[in-house]
Amino acid sequence: MKELTIAATVENIETVTDFVNEQLEALDCPMKAQMQIDIAIDELFGNIAHYAYNPDVGEATVRVEVTEDPLAVVITFIDNGVPYDPLAKADPNTTLSAEEREIGGLGIFMVKKTMDEIAYEYKDGQNILAIKKNLQ
């Protein structure tokens, strides 16, 4: 398991992405899966940066774990910000036009659609969001 604790700012999304990609490359992660994970990082870490500590800046921890049989990567985002469960909101109605749809929710919807598992819990004053992507 590898872990990175960093200021939860939009400017650090690239650093987090590079950190995770370094672990993925060691696993010979397929490019499609890596791109989906990169989009998920952008969305999830971006949400932490924008909303968890607003207007202040706090830290977030990103943990990368590898599981075997099947080979998969689990990326966990942990912050001490405002409690927020992004999975509690209903999925957007994608049959409506962009003009008819409510603003927000599309990013987490994309993450839910491209990851094999996603789980959230609020425990000991921390938001803990984990995504899992099978690599085989």
Q: Give tens-digit pLDDT for 10-53.
A: 999 999 999 999 999 999 999 999 999 999 999 999 999 999 99
Alpha carbon distance 82, 7 (integer Å): 15
Where helices occur in 27-136 by DSSP H, the ranges are: 31-47, 106-114
- Per-residue pLDDT at 134: 96
**87 near 118, Cβ under 8 Å?**
yes
- Per-residue pLDDT at 75: 98
Domain boundaries, the chain: 2-134
Helix 31-47 with 13-26: angle, nearest 10 deg: 150
Eight-class DSSP state of 115: S
- Per-residue pLDDT at 88: 87
* Residue 121 scores a pLDDT above 80: yes
Residue type, 70: P
- Per-residue pLDDT at 90: 73
* Residue 92 scores a pLDDT above 80: no
- Per-residue pLDDT at 89: 77
* Residue 102 scores a pLDDT above 70: no
* Residue 98 scores a pLDDT above 70: no
- Bond prior to 55 in cis (omega within 30° of 0): yes
Q: Which CATH superfamily is domain 2-134 in?
A: Histidine kinase-like ATPase, C-terminal domain (3.30.565.10)
Which candidate, 73, 72, 75, 49, places its Cα nearest to that of 60? 49
* Residue 100 scores a pLDDT above 80: no
Alpha carbon distance 58, 48 (integer Å): 9
| Tokens describing residue 133 | 């992507």
**92 near 101, Cβ under 8 Å?**
yes
